[in-house]
Structure formats: structure tokens, C-alpha cells
Copies of this chain bind each other. A is one copy, B any other.
């Protein structure tokens, strides 16, 4: 399987985030990509740098004011007296007050969902190349019909069209889907990260041309808390074009695999021209986030099951955080997928 990755993605290297009231080290570190690359190298997967598609495909999904914030916000932030090295919000608009302000602290809260998406001096550079990586995997699928894997880092599925969140800035899956829409009338995104793909859902929530399906930890007790419920099925033209399958804490291999057929049925009924798999590995039994209990063998079976979908598929990396088996889990998923497609 062809892999896309750009070393410039590693320029985004977030240091801190606020967890249960304490500033802790961010787990969304460059070493994640290093672990993925080392594991894939063992499988002799070729790794290519992406083509530079410029900003147009990013603008096709994201809000101009938000992109301006991502690109230039860090300079304004750094001019605030006593500002931390990374942009971190301390207040957001809410159900009682929602006028957009001009001052930097207010702007930060406007364009971020939480304290887990610190914007540093090089975040734009990293996020830009992460998006290019997804676009190149989409190109590969269009041009060869073969599956490619975009080693996106930072990840993307919590980013709304105008809001960062949960380690995500540009929604790589959505940007790739928009690219694939140039050649397919309908595109489906299947998100198997342990967290709900809330940003992706939000971007396509009122559209009928992109189906969004997500299996994830029950949001009533897990990030992103305020979206990801089964009742959210799309609206307007997008009615019935979103499927959420929340799963309980402790979900293991078999429970997860047993939930996949409902997702597959939804995708088959939609009959897309292509499928994007938003692959999170943070459901691992050894992931520091500790919600699901999926084994390395479970990821292999997951890859094999998804490979059975009768559509062109591209894979793009979402979450999955440092553990001794992080790379093994990616390789297992990829091998499971490849073996099934070859079989």
C-alpha cells in the first residue's frame, strides 16, 4: 500500500493541553508519525511526499476567517502580555452569549472548541501538509484505483469548517472527500476513531452527497461530549446522511466488529463512488486514553472487514497515541486490509 507523508507535518509539535484542570503534555506528538513510519517500513510500504495542491482544496471546506486565524493567529497571540507559547482558549461563545468579538482572546474562543488544540508558531505549516497528504492519497485512489494511506498528523476529524478542537485543525478527511467529489457523485466517510468524528459530521451535516458514519465511544461520557449521539442523523438535504454508532466504555474486539455491519449496510445503501476510512487507533487496549479495549489482532480484523466493502477505499490517519503497540496496530490494520483485498 502506498503511504503519503511529509516531514513538514512534524513542524506542528504541540506541547501542552489542559486535562481535568491540569496542564499536561500533549500526546499528539511527532513521535506518533515516527512510530507509524517505523512500523510500515517493516511491511515494505513505499512512502512518498505529497504533491502540493495549494490552498484551494482547503478553502473548499474551511471558513476564510478561520484559516486566517490558523495562519496568523499565533503572531497576534504572542503580542498579548504574558501569553503562553501556544494559543489556548479560556472562554468561548455559549448558549447565552455569541457575538463575535475582535480582540484576540475572544477570537481564540470563537475558533476553538476546547483546550486540546494548542496553536503554535508552526501549526499552520504542519496542518497544511497534513491536508496535502490526504489530498495526495485521494489523487492516488482516483488515478490508480488502489488504496493509499495518508499518514495525516495533525489529525483532522474534530475540526469543523470554522473551529479547531481535539488536536485537529484542518479536516483532512473532509478535504479529501471534497476532492473525491470531483469524480464521484457520492462519497462516504467511515470513522473508526475512538472519538466521534464531530467536525466531519458538522461539515457535511446538511449535505446529501457525503455520507458520514462514525463508530465511537459514547459521547455522554467521553470526548467530544456534546455531539456524536445516535439521534444525530443529518438535516435538510443531508437528512439521513449521518450515522452515529456510540459504543460503551470497555468495548473490545468482538463488540466493535459486531457493530460494523450496521455501518456497512448504511454505506451500501448510499452506494458511494469511494469510501474514506478515518482510521483512529486510540481504541487500543494500550492507548493512554483508555476507553475501548481493542487488541492488535482486533485492528487486523477491522482492516479485513472494512476491505470487504465493494468500493474504492482510501485510508487517512486520525488519532492513536503513544504506546508500545501504536505502530503494530497500524501495521495490523493495513495488513488485514491488504490480505483481505488480495484474497
Contact = CB atoms under 8 A, between A and B. Distances in A.
Interface of A: 16-23, 77, 80-88, 90-103, 105-106, 109, 113-116, 118, 160, 163, 165, 198, 202, 219-227, 229
Given A163-B96, A227-B97, A83 B221 contact: no
B221 A101 contact: yes
B87 A223 contact: no
A244 to B, nearest CB: 11
Nearest to A86: B21
A101 B21 contact: no
A23 B82 CA distance: 11
Contacts of A115: 18, 90-91, 115
Contacts of A227: 96-97, 99
A106 B20 CA distance: 11
B97 A226 contact: yes
A290 to B, nearest CB: 9
Closest 7 interchain pairs by CB? A21-B84, A97-B227, A106-B225, A21-B88, A103-B221, A91-B114, A97-B226
A83 B102 CA distance: 33
A93 B227 CA distance: 9
Contacts of A91: 113-116, 165, 223-226
A106 B229 CA distance: 14
B105 A20 contact: yes
Contacts of A106: 219-221, 225-226
Nearest to A249: B103
A202 B160 CA distance: 28
Given A91-B116, A103-B220, 16 more contacts: A16-B21, A21-B84, A21-B90, A90-B114, A90-B116, A91-B225, A94-B94, A97-B113, A97-B227, A98-B226, A101-B219, A101-B221, A101-B225, A106-B220, A106-B225, A109-B226
